[in-house]
Amino acid sequence: MKSLAILGSTGSIGTQTLEVVKRFPGSFSVFLLSAAGSKTSLLREQIRIFAPRIVYVASKEVAKSLSREFSSCGVTVLSNEDELSQIVAQREVDVLVAASSGISALPIILSAIRAKKTIALANKEVMVCAGELVRNLVKQTGARLLPVDSEHNAIFQCLQEKPLEEVSRVILTASGGPFLNKTLDDLKEVSVKDVLNHPTWTMGPKITVDSSTLVNKGLELIEARWLFDCAPDKLEAVIHPSSSVHGMVEWIDGHVHMVMNRPSMLYPIQHVLTLDEGRKGGSFDFWNFKEPFSLDFSPIDETKFLGFSLAKRAIQQGLSMPCFFNAANEVLVNRFLRGEISWKQITTKLSDLMDSHNPIPCSSLESILEVDQEAGLLASQA
Ligand code: NDP
Ligand code: MG
């Protein structure tokens, strides 16, 4: 039985992780659940069903109330982040599923890496801001970092630990989001509802907005750069509206490996959680190759999707720029969701903010948190 600690259990990835756990009774136990505390009834239900030993909730008030409710059932509820960091390093944890949003989980993930755990990583912002730090620590300790993000999971399956010198290009696919076929003119006025209506994926609100601006694909390029230690000039992304192919590796001899599955995060989540046991069945859809279907690929229009070209600029500038880009974008996305700025302003303001930032070395936890805070503050006032 593999013992799981799940960060972000009430989110889109967290709930799907628990769905995979349910599919394989006897294969997984849930040692820890963690959330911010905004969906208390869902968290309560998860505690009842999965009986974790530890629950972490960022909100102290919610933690107090859950503690009153569940301590008699042997559940310890805490809201101290240092305690959480220590707990994920304990012997009882086999796999840390990192599925919370933003970079709040960075210290916890670093602690699990130091303890040589297996980390199933969905939380892309952590790799964007602290990719170099995480990568180096993984190399030093021998911890395992397994990509959950669908594109990266596909690329991981293609690469199979082959030497990077044999790779010509690593290619991520992008559905293009809800505005793929809109003109720049159409995009002058779009509502939150238009943005949250993603054609192929059902996800949390922040990542859904990022998919509409293609900032998400940009964040994923940066994530891939560090997950696979891949030189930026070998990384590409292409539009592929049906989200059937998720990632491709082109080898120097001209062959291309690609991984296809239906657009559901259940596939990559199950893949990483059952990796050691070999492939397992489930309730998956299979392709009917007897019916005609096509795989379309086209380039990304970087004028329409300014967010993607800003991400490429962040990779090229390096140092603190990817972290600054991520944090400023997160705040701007939240301002859009609250109706304070327009959809277009997410990326125009992001571009102006990046112009004003002088990249500085940023490879320690402290410096990353500082840049994150500074960018967030500037974006809240922009
Ligand atoms: P959601 O917004 O749906 O869920 C976020 C989760 O994180 C919730 O459980 C939330 O708790 C928790 N959380 C947020 N802040 C904190 C905090 N400070 N301390 C503890 N817990 C916190 O996000 P998604 O599931 O969509 O995404 C999670 C991560 O996975 C992101 O990094 C995203 O980029 C990545 N990802 C998501 C994909 C998807 O399909 N959704 C695909 C690929 C990657 P609460 O519910 O209490 O607020
Ligand atoms: Mg993805």
Query: Which ligand number lies closest to the CA of residue 98?
Result: 1
Annotate 261-286 with b (16+ C-beta within 10 A) or e (fewer): bebbbbbbbbbbbbbeeeeeeeeeee
Of 39, 101, 215, which is best to mutate to test ligand 1, by the most ligand atoms within 8 angstroms of its C-beta? 101
Q: Which of 6, 7, 9, 12 to mutate to test the pocket of ligand 1 (most atoms within 8 A of CB)?
A: 12
Strands 167-174 and 245-251: antiparallel
Point out the ligand 1 atom lying closest to the alpha carbon of residue 10: 9
Q: What is the dihedral of CA 116, 117, 118, 121, to 10 degrees?
A: -100
The SS3 assignment for 66 reads helix
Q: Do the beta carbons of residue 169 and residue 236 sit within 8 Å?
A: yes
Identify the DSSP state of 71.
Answer: G
The pLDDT value given to residue 132 = 95
* Region for residue 328 given its phi and psi (left: phi exceeds 0; alpha: psi -120 to 50; beta: otherwise): alpha
| 11 ligand 1 Cβ < 6 A | yes
Q: Compute, in angstroms, the gap from residue 221 CA to the centroid of ligand 2.
A: 10
pLDDT (0 to 100) of residue 285: 84
Ligand 1 within 6 A of 36 CB? yes
- Closest by CA to 266, choosing from 18, 1, 2, 9, is 18
Cα of 243 to ligand 2 centre, how many Å? 10
Query: Is residue 146 within 8 Å of residue 275, measured between CB atoms?
Result: yes
**In terms of Cα–Cα distance, which of 222, 236, 223, 112 is closest to 167?**
236
Atom of ligand 1 nearest to the CA of 210: 34
Cβ contacts of 56 within 8 Å, gap of 6 or more:
32, 33, 34, 35, 63, 77, 78, 79, 81, 83, 84, 87
Pairing of strands 118-121, 95-98: parallel
The ligand with the least distance to the CA atom of 102 is: 1
Q: What is the pLDDT along the chain (382 residues), one digit of tens a residue?
A: 999 999 999 999 999 999 999 999 999 999 999 999 999 999 999 999 999 999 999 999 999 999 999 999 999 999 999 999 999 999 999 999 999 999 999 999 999 999 999 999 999 999 999 999 999 999 999 999 999 999 999 999 999 989 999 999 999 999 999 999 999 899 888 999 999 987 887 788 899 999 999 999 999 999 999 999 999 999 999 999 999 999 999 999 999 999 999 999 999 999 999 999 999 998 788 898 999 888 999 999 999 999 999 999 999 999 999 999 999 999 999 999 999 999 999 999 999 999 999 999 998 999 999 999 999 999 999 9
Sign of CA dihedral 180, 310, 321, 140: positive
Residue ranges of alpha helices (H) inside the chain are 12-23, 40-50, 60-70, 81-88, 106-114, 124-141, 150-159, 192-196, 205-213, 215-227, 266-273, 306-317, 321-337, 343-356, 365-381
Atom 32 (ligand 1) nearest CA: 123
Instruction: Supply the pLDDT for residue 201.
Output: 78
Residue 122 in contact with ligand 1 by CB distance below 6 A: yes
Quote the ligand 2 centre to 157 CA distance (angstroms).
15
How much is the pTM?
0.96
Best CA proximity match to 92, nearest among 49, 53, 148, 58:
53
Q: Which helix (H) or strand (E) is 144 found in, with range?
A: strand 144-147
Q: CA-to-CA distance for 217 and 151, rounded, in angstroms?
A: 10
For residue 149, the ligand 1 atom closest to its alpha carbon is: 43
Question: Ligand 1 pocket check: which of 6, 9, 13 to mutate, most ligand atoms within 8 Å of Cβ?
Answer: 13
Q: What is the model's pLDDT at position 246?
A: 98
User: What pLDDT score does 96 carry?
Assistant: 98
The rounded Å distance from CA 370 to ligand 2 centre is: 27
CA angle 124, 34, 206 (to 5 degrees): 40
The predicted structure's pLDDT at residue 204? 81
Euclidean distance between CA atoms 345 and 187, whole angstroms = 11
Pairing of strands 256-260, 245-251: antiparallel
191 DSSP assignment: -
